[in-house]
């Protein structure tokens, strides 16, 4: 039906963020569900590409600044980091507790098809056991001596690139992490991962556990982007090989999920939610994003723009859930859309509040919105436009479900939402000195196209005093402006 074309057009507009991460943090080539990467990051930059590929940052005092998200997602951050020692040649997770209650995650026995036995392998075994014993007793100096010797004996007994060397490197790296000798630990972690990838494959479960360890290492240093990449790969490997119900997968999720009293944690958690969403794990993504929203409501004022952004993102996930339910469970699909509508209305309300507050401030100062207020206004305007645009799509889908597939002759709610988006741009973009923002114009253009498509599909010639041809002319003008802006930038 004609409304489906309009809905498809809006869905096609949704895009993944650029994947500018290193090859070591590879992503799946395709995603089973469309992601809406509207997330948070921890570094402050001015946006070059805002919209579905943009994100917030958490500044020193207050975090309302848009930035570019350089990867599909971040990770959940926590402080409770536990040592992870290699048991034998291993990579299986087996938990013990030391006197301080730390989880000691071992490694599964490497099935290399042969048993190498010589004086060096015997010493490696003894040194490894002694090092672990001292480590669990908190005697780190003695443990370091044995772990250093274990690496040397593993190289001489098994070979320089044998997985036993990887487990020995991992043990010493964990010790250095606990001692906070980070400069010594990192090359050992990386060496362990390289050896395991050579010996098995980059998607082997043993590599996943080693990446988990490296993620913890970066986590304790607050190196958010590096930790994100490691945990993303670890979760991808563990989820595929072990299944998401496996305790080892859950263990990685647990380490990602601590420290919710920090906005850094919320920033990272929302990013991980995007990764789960892009892989089709909508339930997990929604749970994570809802937890982010709960945390933000505790940490931020109730009308903070980040709360509105979070609601917008959850609404998009819920809309995807509804789309999956529409064939077999129509009533459930409608209920999901009703939930998403409530979230979008709240996001719109918060964005309006922020914009109106900034308008009042700018009038008192007798000049336009600038500086930090300008960034807040820029973010709020984009959230407002995106929320209204999404609301238009929601109204189309909801009416189709309610009409049980019959041809719809009119969609007043959808047209109203898109028209309000257009009106908001005209009212605020100029007044707040944002009419030349390419990112804001892109959202305005989207609303213009969707409203124009609906009017055209219904066979009408005008809407609220504006003719269809005038809408089409405005679309061409804005497209030209955006194209010219891109050329000037390049």
Q: Is the separation of the CB atoms in 158 and 186 below 8 Å?
A: no
389 falls within a domain:
yes
Neighbouring CB atoms inside 10 A of 454's CB total 24
* Tokens standing for residue 128: 């490894």
Whether 439 shows a pLDDT value over 60: the answer reads yes
Mean pLDDT is lowest, of 69-83, 333-347, 365-379, for: 69-83
**Separation CA 171–CA 151 (nearest Å):** 9
Whether 212 shows a pLDDT value over 70: the answer reads yes
Average pLDDT over residues 275-286: 75
The runs of H, that is alpha helices, within 200-262 are: 205-220, 224-241, 247-256
Whether 370 shows a pLDDT value over 70: the answer reads no
198 falls within a domain:
no
Whether 166 shows a pLDDT value over 80: the answer reads yes
Average pLDDT over residues 152-168: 91
Q: Is residue 23 helix, strand or coil?
A: helix
**Separation CA 156–CA 274 (nearest Å):** 45
319 falls within a domain:
yes
Whether 320 shows a pLDDT value over 90: the answer reads yes
**Separation CA 244–CA 238 (nearest Å):** 8
239: exposed, middle or buried (Cβ count in 10 Å: 0-12, 13-18, 19+) = buried
Q: Which of 175, 146, 163, 176 is nearest to 209 (CA)?
A: 163
Whether this model's pTM surpasses 0.75: no
456 falls within a domain:
yes
Name the more confident of 22 and 5. Answer: 5
371: exposed, middle or buried (Cβ count in 10 Å: 0-12, 13-18, 19+) = exposed
Whether 387 shows a pLDDT value over 90: the answer reads yes
Average pLDDT over residues 75-97: 35
Q: Tell me the sheet residues that pair with 462.
A: 467
pLDDT for position 313: 94
Instruction: Using pLDDT thresholds of 50, 70 and 90, give the confidence band for residue 405.
Output: low
Average pLDDT over residues 299-322: 94
Give the tens place of pLDDT for each residue, 25-61: 333 333 233 222 222 222 222 222 223 333 344 333 3
Whether 208 shows a pLDDT value over 70: the answer reads yes
Tell me the CA end-to-end span of the chain in Å, nearest whole number.
40
Whether 388 shows a pLDDT value over 90: the answer reads yes
334 falls within a domain:
yes
Whether 186 shows a pLDDT value over 90: the answer reads yes
The structure tokens 């980070």 sit at 182
H or E stretch at 466? strand 466-467
Q: How far is CA 414 from the centre of its chain?
A: 29
205 falls within a domain:
no
pLDDT for position 294: 93
Name the more confident of 1 and 179. Answer: 179
Whether 334 shows a pLDDT value over 80: the answer reads yes
pLDDT for position 88: 42
Q: Which of 347, 337, 303 is nearest to 317 (CA)?
A: 337
Query: What total number of domains does the chain contain?
Result: 1
If you write DSSP's letter for every residue of 354-393 in order, what string do you get?
HHHHHHHHHHHHTS---HHHHHHHHHHHHHHHHHHHHHHH
Q: Is residue 32 helix, strand or coil?
A: coil
pLDDT for position 72: 25
pLDDT for position 239: 62
**Separation CA 382–CA 442 (nearest Å):** 9
Name the more confident of 304 and 84. Answer: 304
391 falls within a domain:
yes
Whether 474 shows a pLDDT value over 90: the answer reads yes
Secondary structure of 257-275 as H, E, C letters: CCCCCCHHHHHHHHHHHHH
185 falls within a domain:
no
The range of the structural domain enclosing residue 431 comes to: 2-24+297-489
400: which residues sit within 8 A by CB, 6+ positions away?
A: 1, 3, 4, 408
pLDDT for position 420: 93
**Separation CA 484–CA 110 (nearest Å):** 58
**Separation CA 276–CA 456 (nearest Å):** 37
Give whole-number Cα distances, 374 to 58, 247, 307, 475, in Å. Answer: 16, 46, 18, 26
**Separation CA 168–CA 123 (nearest Å):** 12
* Angle, alpha carbons 351-354-355 (nearest 5°): 85
Query: What is the dihedral sign for C-alpha 421, 424, 429, 432?
Result: negative
pLDDT for position 366: 54
pLDDT for position 321: 94
pLDDT for position 416: 93
Give whole-number Cα distances, 466 to 257, 419, 461, in Å. Answer: 51, 11, 9
pLDDT for position 343: 97
Share of the chain above pLDDT 70, in %: 65
**Separation CA 371–CA 393 (nearest Å):** 34
pLDDT for position 436: 72
H or E stretch at 333? helix 330-365
Average pLDDT over residues 307-321: 95
* Tokens standing for residue 68: 């570019």
pLDDT for position 266: 79
Mean pLDDT is lowest, of 3-12, 235-244, 342-351, for: 3-12
């Amino acid at each position: 039906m004609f409304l489906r074309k309009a809905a498809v057009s809006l869905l096609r507009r949704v895009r993944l963020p650029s994947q500018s991460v290193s090859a070591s943090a590879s992503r799946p080539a395709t995603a089973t569900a469309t992601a809406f990467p509207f997330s948070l990051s921890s570094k402050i930059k001015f946006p070059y590409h805002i919209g579905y590929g943009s994100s917030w940052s958490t500044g020193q005092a207050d975090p309302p600044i848009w930035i570019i998200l350089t990867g599909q997602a971040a990770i959940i951050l926590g402080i409770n980091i536990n040592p992870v020692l290699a048991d034998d040649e291993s990579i299986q997770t087996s938990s013990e507790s030391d006197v301080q209650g730390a989880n000691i995650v071992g490694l599964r026995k490497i099935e290399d098809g042969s048993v190498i036995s010589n004086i060096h392998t015997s010493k490696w075994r003894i040194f490894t056991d002694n090092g672990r014993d001292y480590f669990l007793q908190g005697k780190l100096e003695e443990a370091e001596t044995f772990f250093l010797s274990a690496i040397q004996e593993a190289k001489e007994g098994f070979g320089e690139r044998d997985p036993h060397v990887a487990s020995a490197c991992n043990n010493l790296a964990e010790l250095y992490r606990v001692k906070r000798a980070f400069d010594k630990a990192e090359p050992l972690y990386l060496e362990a991962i390289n050896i395991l990838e050579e010996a098995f494959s980059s998607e082997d479960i043993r590599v996943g556990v080693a990446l988990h360890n490296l993620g913890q290492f970066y986590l304790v240093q607050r190196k958010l982007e590096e930790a994100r990449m490691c945990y993303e790969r670890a979760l991808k490997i563990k989820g595929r090989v072990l299944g998401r119900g496996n305790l080892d997968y859950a263990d990685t999720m647990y380490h990602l999920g601590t420290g919710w009293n920090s906005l850094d944690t919320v920033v990272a958690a929302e990013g991980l939610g995007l990764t789960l969403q892009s892989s089709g794990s909508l339930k997990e993504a929604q749970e994570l994003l809802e937890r982010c929203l709960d945390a933000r409501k505790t940490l931020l004022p109730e009308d903070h723009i980040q709360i509105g952004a979070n609601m917008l993102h959850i609404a998009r996930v819920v809309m995807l859930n509804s789309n999956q339910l529409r064939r077999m469970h129509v009533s459930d699909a409608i209920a999901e859309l009703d939930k998403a509508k409530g979230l979008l209305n709240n996001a719109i309300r918060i964005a309006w509040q922020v914009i109106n507050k900034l308008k009042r401030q700018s009038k008192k100062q007798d000049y336009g919105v600038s500086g930090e207020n300008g960034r807040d206004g820029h973010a709020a305007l984009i959230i407002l436009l995106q929320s209204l645009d999404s609301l238009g799509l929601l109204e189309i889908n909801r009416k189709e479900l309610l009409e049980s597939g019959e041809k719809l002759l009119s969609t007043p709610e959808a047209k109203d939402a898109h028209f309000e988006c257009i009106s908001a741009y005209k009212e605020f973009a100029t007044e707040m000195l944002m009419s030349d923002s390419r990112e804001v114009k892109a959202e305005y253009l989207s609303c213009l196209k969707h409203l124009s498509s609906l009017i055209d599909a219904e066979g009408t010639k005008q809407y609220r005093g504006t003719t269809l041809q005038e809408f089409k002319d405005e679309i061409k003008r804005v497209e030209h402006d955006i194209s010219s802006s891109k050329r000037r930038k390049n």
